[in-house]
Amino acid sequence: DTEVTQTPKHLVMGMTNKKSLKCEQHMGHRAMYWYKQKAKKPPELMFVYSYEKLSINESVPSRFSPECPNSSLLNLHLHALQPEDSALYLCASSQVLSGTTGGYTFGSGTRLTVV
Amino acid sequence: DAKTTQPNSMESNEEEPVHLPCNHSTISGTDYIHWYRQLPSQGPEYVIHGLTSNVNNRMASLAIAEDRKSSTLILHRATLRDAAVYYCILRLPVQGAQKLVFGQGTRLTINP
Protein backbone atom coordinates (compact mmCIF):
# COMPACT_ATOMS: atom_id res chain seq x y z
CA ASP A 1 0.00 0.00 0.00
CA THR A 2 1.63 3.24 -1.13
CA GLU A 3 -1.22 5.64 -0.50
CA VAL A 4 -2.37 8.19 2.00
CA THR A 5 -6.14 8.03 2.32
CA GLN A 6 -8.11 11.05 3.49
CA THR A 7 -11.78 11.09 4.46
CA PRO A 8 -14.13 12.69 3.81
CA LYS A 9 -13.26 14.11 0.39
CA HIS A 10 -15.70 16.98 0.84
CA LEU A 11 -17.11 18.54 4.01
CA VAL A 12 -19.51 21.41 4.56
CA MET A 13 -19.85 22.57 8.15
CA GLY A 14 -21.44 25.41 10.04
CA MET A 15 -19.47 27.72 12.28
CA THR A 16 -20.85 26.07 15.42
CA ASN A 17 -20.24 22.48 14.31
CA LYS A 18 -17.57 20.05 15.43
CA LYS A 19 -16.15 17.76 12.78
CA SER A 20 -13.03 15.66 12.22
CA LEU A 21 -10.83 14.96 9.23
CA LYS A 22 -9.18 11.57 9.03
CA CYS A 23 -5.93 10.47 7.41
CA GLU A 24 -4.58 6.91 7.18
CA GLN A 25 -1.40 5.35 5.79
CA HIS A 26 0.05 1.83 5.92
CA MET A 27 3.53 2.49 4.55
CA GLY A 28 5.21 2.34 7.97
CA HIS A 29 5.91 6.07 7.88
CA ARG A 30 6.45 7.50 11.37
CA ALA A 31 6.17 11.17 10.40
CA MET A 32 2.80 12.65 9.44
CA TYR A 33 1.77 16.17 8.49
CA TRP A 34 -1.23 18.45 8.01
CA TYR A 35 -1.17 21.18 5.38
CA LYS A 36 -3.77 23.80 4.45
CA GLN A 37 -4.09 25.02 0.86
CA LYS A 38 -6.18 27.98 -0.25
CA ALA A 39 -7.19 28.32 -3.88
CA LYS A 40 -4.28 29.08 -6.25
CA LYS A 41 -1.82 29.20 -3.32
CA PRO A 42 0.88 26.73 -2.24
CA PRO A 43 0.24 24.36 0.66
CA GLU A 44 1.03 25.81 4.10
CA LEU A 45 2.38 23.57 6.85
CA MET A 46 0.16 23.34 9.94
CA PHE A 47 1.38 20.43 12.09
CA VAL A 48 4.15 17.84 12.12
CA TYR A 49 3.99 14.55 14.04
CA SER A 50 7.01 12.35 14.61
CA TYR A 51 6.58 8.94 16.26
CA GLU A 52 3.00 9.87 17.17
CA LYS A 53 4.11 12.97 19.08
CA LEU A 54 3.40 16.53 18.04
CA SER A 55 6.71 17.93 16.83
CA ILE A 56 5.72 21.22 15.24
CA ASN A 57 2.69 23.51 15.49
CA GLU A 58 3.06 26.36 13.02
CA SER A 59 1.10 28.79 15.24
CA VAL A 60 -2.21 27.29 14.17
CA PRO A 61 -5.35 28.60 15.97
CA SER A 62 -6.70 26.33 18.70
CA ARG A 63 -9.93 25.72 16.76
CA PHE A 64 -7.78 23.19 14.86
CA SER A 65 -6.78 20.27 17.10
CA PRO A 66 -4.59 17.46 15.72
CA GLU A 67 -4.44 13.96 17.11
CA CYS A 68 -2.27 10.96 16.24
CA PRO A 69 -3.84 7.92 17.95
CA ASN A 70 -1.40 5.40 16.39
CA SER A 71 1.33 5.17 13.79
CA SER A 72 -1.14 4.78 10.90
CA LEU A 73 -3.76 7.39 11.75
CA LEU A 74 -3.83 11.16 11.93
CA ASN A 75 -6.91 13.19 12.75
CA LEU A 76 -7.68 16.89 12.61
CA HIS A 77 -10.52 17.97 14.89
CA LEU A 78 -12.35 21.12 13.87
CA HIS A 79 -14.45 23.32 16.13
CA ALA A 80 -15.92 26.81 15.77
CA LEU A 81 -14.31 27.44 12.40
CA GLN A 82 -14.63 30.64 10.41
CA PRO A 83 -15.53 30.98 6.71
CA GLU A 84 -11.91 31.96 5.99
CA ASP A 85 -10.89 28.47 7.13
CA SER A 86 -12.47 27.06 3.98
CA ALA A 87 -9.66 25.37 2.09
CA LEU A 88 -8.21 22.06 0.91
CA TYR A 89 -6.69 20.21 3.87
CA LEU A 90 -3.89 17.88 2.89
CA CYS A 91 -2.38 15.07 4.91
CA ALA A 92 1.05 13.67 4.14
CA SER A 93 3.43 11.09 5.54
CA SER A 94 7.13 10.36 5.25
CA GLN A 95 9.93 8.33 6.70
CA VAL A 96 11.54 9.91 9.71
CA LEU A 97 14.51 11.93 8.52
CA SER A 98 17.57 10.09 7.30
CA GLY A 99 20.22 10.84 4.71
CA THR A 100 18.48 8.82 2.05
CA THR A 101 14.92 9.70 2.96
CA GLY A 102 12.68 10.13 -0.02
CA GLY A 103 9.75 12.43 -0.26
CA TYR A 104 6.39 12.90 1.29
CA THR A 105 3.36 10.98 0.13
CA PHE A 106 0.31 13.24 0.04
CA GLY A 107 -3.33 12.36 0.18
CA SER A 108 -5.83 13.90 -2.23
CA GLY A 109 -7.16 16.16 0.49
CA THR A 110 -10.44 17.12 2.12
CA ARG A 111 -12.13 20.13 0.59
CA LEU A 112 -13.68 21.99 3.52
CA THR A 113 -16.33 24.67 3.22
CA VAL A 114 -17.38 26.60 6.34
CA VAL A 115 -20.77 28.28 6.07
CA ASP B 1 13.47 28.91 6.53
CA ALA B 2 15.57 28.72 3.40
CA LYS B 3 13.71 30.02 0.35
CA THR B 4 13.40 29.03 -3.30
CA THR B 5 12.61 31.24 -6.28
CA GLN B 6 10.87 29.96 -9.42
CA PRO B 7 9.27 31.58 -12.46
CA ASN B 8 5.51 31.96 -12.01
CA SER B 9 4.70 30.19 -15.26
CA MET B 10 6.25 28.42 -18.22
CA GLU B 11 4.89 27.02 -21.43
CA SER B 12 6.15 24.23 -23.65
CA ASN B 13 5.02 21.95 -26.45
CA GLU B 14 4.11 18.33 -26.25
CA GLU B 15 6.98 15.86 -26.83
CA GLU B 16 9.62 18.55 -26.28
CA PRO B 17 11.98 18.73 -23.29
CA VAL B 18 11.15 21.14 -20.48
CA HIS B 19 13.70 22.75 -18.17
CA LEU B 20 12.23 24.20 -14.97
CA PRO B 21 14.71 26.42 -13.09
CA CYS B 22 14.92 27.06 -9.36
CA ASN B 23 17.18 29.38 -7.36
CA HIS B 24 18.03 28.61 -3.74
CA SER B 25 20.95 30.86 -2.88
CA THR B 26 20.52 30.45 0.92
CA ILE B 27 20.74 26.65 0.84
CA SER B 28 22.80 25.08 3.61
CA GLY B 29 25.08 22.08 3.28
CA THR B 30 22.56 19.55 4.61
CA ASP B 31 19.44 20.78 2.78
CA TYR B 32 18.10 18.36 0.21
CA ILE B 33 16.44 19.80 -2.90
CA HIS B 34 13.01 18.32 -3.50
CA TRP B 35 10.62 18.73 -6.42
CA TYR B 36 6.91 18.07 -6.27
CA ARG B 37 4.12 18.66 -8.73
CA GLN B 38 0.45 19.22 -8.19
CA LEU B 39 -2.16 18.40 -10.79
CA PRO B 40 -5.56 20.09 -10.57
CA SER B 41 -7.74 18.81 -7.73
CA GLN B 42 -5.01 16.50 -6.41
CA GLY B 43 -2.48 16.53 -3.62
CA PRO B 44 1.17 17.24 -4.46
CA GLU B 45 3.12 14.35 -5.94
CA TYR B 46 6.79 13.66 -5.24
CA VAL B 47 8.92 13.94 -8.38
CA ILE B 48 12.59 13.77 -7.44
CA HIS B 49 15.16 14.92 -4.90
CA GLY B 50 18.91 15.33 -4.62
CA LEU B 51 21.72 16.71 -2.51
CA THR B 52 24.77 17.39 -4.66
CA SER B 53 24.87 15.05 -7.64
CA ASN B 54 22.53 15.00 -10.61
CA VAL B 55 19.72 12.50 -10.24
CA ASN B 56 17.55 10.58 -12.68
CA ASN B 57 14.35 8.61 -12.17
CA ARG B 58 11.47 7.44 -14.32
CA MET B 59 9.70 10.78 -14.08
CA ALA B 60 12.44 13.35 -14.52
CA SER B 61 16.06 14.38 -14.08
CA LEU B 62 17.44 16.85 -11.57
CA ALA B 63 20.51 18.89 -12.42
CA ILE B 64 22.15 20.61 -9.44
CA ALA B 65 24.66 23.42 -9.88
CA GLU B 66 28.13 22.85 -8.48
CA ASP B 67 27.64 25.57 -5.85
CA ARG B 68 24.16 24.18 -5.10
CA LYS B 69 22.60 27.63 -5.35
CA SER B 70 20.36 26.59 -8.22
CA SER B 71 18.86 23.49 -9.77
CA THR B 72 16.85 22.51 -12.84
CA LEU B 73 14.13 19.93 -13.17
CA ILE B 74 14.18 18.33 -16.62
CA LEU B 75 11.18 16.60 -18.17
CA HIS B 76 12.66 14.85 -21.18
CA ARG B 77 9.51 14.57 -23.33
CA ALA B 78 6.58 16.53 -22.01
CA THR B 79 3.08 15.14 -22.36
CA LEU B 80 -0.24 16.85 -21.73
CA ARG B 81 -0.40 14.99 -18.42
CA ASP B 82 2.66 16.90 -17.22
CA ALA B 83 0.68 20.15 -17.06
CA ALA B 84 0.79 21.02 -13.37
CA VAL B 85 2.25 23.37 -10.78
CA TYR B 86 5.84 22.37 -10.04
CA TYR B 87 7.32 23.18 -6.64
CA CYS B 88 11.02 23.34 -5.85
CA ILE B 89 11.49 22.94 -2.09
CA LEU B 90 14.37 22.69 0.35
CA ARG B 91 13.84 19.87 2.81
CA LEU B 92 14.73 20.95 6.31
CA PRO B 93 15.47 18.43 9.05
CA VAL B 94 13.44 19.27 12.11
CA GLN B 95 12.83 17.36 15.33
CA GLY B 96 12.85 13.88 13.86
CA ALA B 97 10.88 14.67 10.74
CA GLN B 98 11.19 16.52 7.47
CA LYS B 99 9.90 20.01 6.96
CA LEU B 100 8.87 20.98 3.46
CA VAL B 101 7.97 24.64 3.06
CA PHE B 102 6.40 25.26 -0.32
CA GLY B 103 7.21 28.32 -2.41
CA GLN B 104 4.94 29.76 -5.07
CA GLY B 105 5.84 27.17 -7.72
CA THR B 106 5.84 27.27 -11.53
CA ARG B 107 2.63 26.65 -13.42
CA LEU B 108 3.60 24.58 -16.48
CA THR B 109 1.35 24.64 -19.54
CA ILE B 110 1.86 22.04 -22.27
CA ASN B 111 0.57 22.85 -25.74
CA PRO B 112 -0.60 20.01 -28.00
Whether residue A44 and residue B102 make contact (CB cut-off 8 A), yes or no, is: yes
Q: For B87, which of A42, A45, A48 is closest by C-beta distance? A: A42
Quickly state the pLDDT bin for B91 (edges 50, 70, 90).
confident
Interface of B with A in 28-47 (CB under 8 A): 32, 34, 36, 41-47
Considering only A17-21, A70-74, B63-67, B90-94, which range has the smallest mean pLDDT?
B90-94
B105 touches chain A (CB under 8 A): yes
Query: Which CA distances in Å does B58 have to A19, A30, B20, B77?
Result: 40, 26, 17, 12
Nearest to A91 by CA among A42, A33, A43: A33
Whether residue B97 and residue A49 make contact (CB cut-off 8 A), yes or no, is: yes
Residue A99 has a pLDDT of 53
- List the single residue in B with minimal CA-CA distance to A89: B43
Query: What is the rounded end-to-end Cα distance, in angstroms, of chain B?
Result: 38
Q: Checking DSSP bridges between strand A44-50 and strand A53-57, what pairing results, if any?
A: antiparallel
Between A and B, how many CB-CB pairs are < 8 A?
71
Quickly state the pLDDT bin for A98 (edges 50, 70, 90).
low
Q: For B46, which of A50, A51, A105 is closest by C-beta distance? A: A105
Residue B93 has a pLDDT of 75
